[in-house]
Structure 1
Amino acid sequence: MTVGLIRRTSKELSIDPSNSPYSMKDFRQFLRSSYSLKRTTAIKIGNGSRKRPRLVIISRKRSRAFTNVGEIAGMAKRLGFRVFVAEPDVDVSGFAKIINSCDVMMGVHGAGSPGPGNSHWRNRMGCQKTYFEEPAKDMNIRYLDYKIEWKRAL
């Protein structure tokens, strides 16, 4: 079975509370239950615990890939993270368990690779809010964005 969210409002990837008794938090719980994800919260940093937060870096080989995963992982380790690099594959359940085991997830998202002078590119920058930040907030997940410059590989 494939389950997802249908666009019925101007807000993508959401549940309209006026049309449904369910919320995005309910959807998050549904996903946790469906994939048997036991861990419900990330660790609290700075609460006196010596436990290091776990960071998963989403690695992709083709599009939207970090070109310096090793450097990112090294810096994160120096900052005190336990670092894992994972690549999504057809085993959605296994990948969900990897993501659920970590406190922080880092990955590249976007709508392709147009040039910075392209007005269509500037319009797409708002998509991260619609497709990632707002749904995360509605599921009580903290989302931070960091914009980097696009460069063509040599």
Structure 2
Amino acid sequence: MKRTIAAFGAAAAVALGVVGTAPTASAADGWCSRTVEVTRNGYRAAVPATAGGSTSCVMGRGSSGSQVEALQFALSICNDLYLSSDGSYGPQTEAAVRTVQSRNNLSADGVYGPNTRNATSWRWYPVDWSANNPVCARF
């Protein structure tokens, strides 16, 4: 009986948001909490990352900051999903993420994680500032 009550109490605490849960994407290293610049093939892009700099991170509704703004910019400019880049992961950002996920045959849960990162086209700028030809490409 005590185990049942304890299990019910723990489940209720998680459901009510009293106790946090780990990121849901299995390959994620943690929550996206900042933006890092990634460089590949002479181009650079700003992408969401963990506090430690890993781009394998998770964010969803309620997240906010430069990492959300970078995602919103990429969704709008490179994925034809026009939304404002206000840095708040709300219903519009969640819906845009669901669209990217659906277009790429991913589970459309609206939560950004490593699989969504790979399916999203990002704005890549030349490392050489004299060349002004940004491109949209996947991670």
What is the TM-score normalised by the length of structure 1? 0.22
Say which structure, 1 or 2, has more relative contact order (CA 8 Å, 6+ apart): 1
**Structure with the higher strand share, 1 or 2:** 2
The TM-score with structure 2 as length reference comes to 0.24
